Homo-oligomer: A and B are copies of this chain.
Amino acid sequence: MSQPPAIPRTDAALIALRRILRATEHYERDLAQAAKLTPAKLRVLQILAGTETRSAMPTQLSTQMGVSQATVTALVDQLDKLGLTQRQRSSTDRRQLHVILTDAGLEALRNAPDALQQHFVTGFQALQDWEQAMLVASLERVAAMLNAQGIDASPLLTLGDISRPRG
């Protein structure tokens, strides 16, 4: 417990952070393979699943994912081809497009439980209440620190619904 800090705290934190990042990278890849979907495509599906309408516009997707529109187009192209999403022009503004998650898409998501979540959730839920609280606070703090410089801003609703496949 009270060890003299052999490793300065900053470094310890950084190392932990790195480890998290690396672990996640891998999970994402494994997961994607299991689901026969690539990470990026999976992310799209997850975002869509997280919306009320199960749909979103490309611009929205590109913002939330932090990639360019061109990239989104490419991804949606493929998801469409797989029948997991569907494009539909907006009736009010025909420039706009709705990318809609199909039933098949939702199904695919169900079969691809997020490995990251699996592990994390399991571990997390085993914690004491106060520990959970502390963890959340900490993570949010880190996120804030990193995010400080912009990048994001979008509320990122992605995960909420997915982790609860409420019938």
State the number of copies, please. 2
A interface, over-half SS: helix
Decide: B136 and A123 in contact? CB cutoff 8 A: no
Cα of A142 to Cα of B135 in the assembled complex, Å: 8
Decide: B66 and A20 in contact? CB cutoff 8 A: no
- A50: min CB distance to chain B, Å: 10
Collect the chain B residues with CB atoms within 8 Å of residue A9's CB: 124, 132-133, 136
Bitwise interface map of A from 10 to 34 toward B, beta carbon under 8 Å scored 1, else 0: 1111111111111111110000000
Collect the chain B residues with CB atoms within 8 Å of residue A132's CB: 9-10, 13
Decide: A159 and B20 in contact? CB cutoff 8 A: no
**Is A160 at the interface (CB under 8 A from chain B)?**
yes
Q: Which residues between 120 and 145 of chain A lie within 8 Å of chain B, taking CB atoms?
A: 120-121, 123-125, 131-145
Cα of A24 to Cα of B145 in the assembled complex, Å: 11
A135: contacting residue among B18, B21, B141, CB under 8 A? B141
Cα of A159 to Cα of B21 in the assembled complex, Å: 14
**Is A156 at the interface (CB under 8 A from chain B)?**
yes
Cα of A141 to Cα of B135 in the assembled complex, Å: 8
Collect the chain B residues with CB atoms within 8 Å of residue A138's CB: 134-135, 137-139
A159: contacting residue among B18, B121, B149, CB under 8 A? B18
Collect the chain B residues with CB atoms within 8 Å of residue A120's CB: 10, 13-14, 17, 142, 145-146
Pick the most buried of A27, A136, A151: most chain B CB atoms within 10 A of its CB: A136
State the 5 A-B residue pairs at the shortest beta-carbon distance, nearest first.
A138-B138, A16-B139, A123-B145, A23-B146, A19-B143
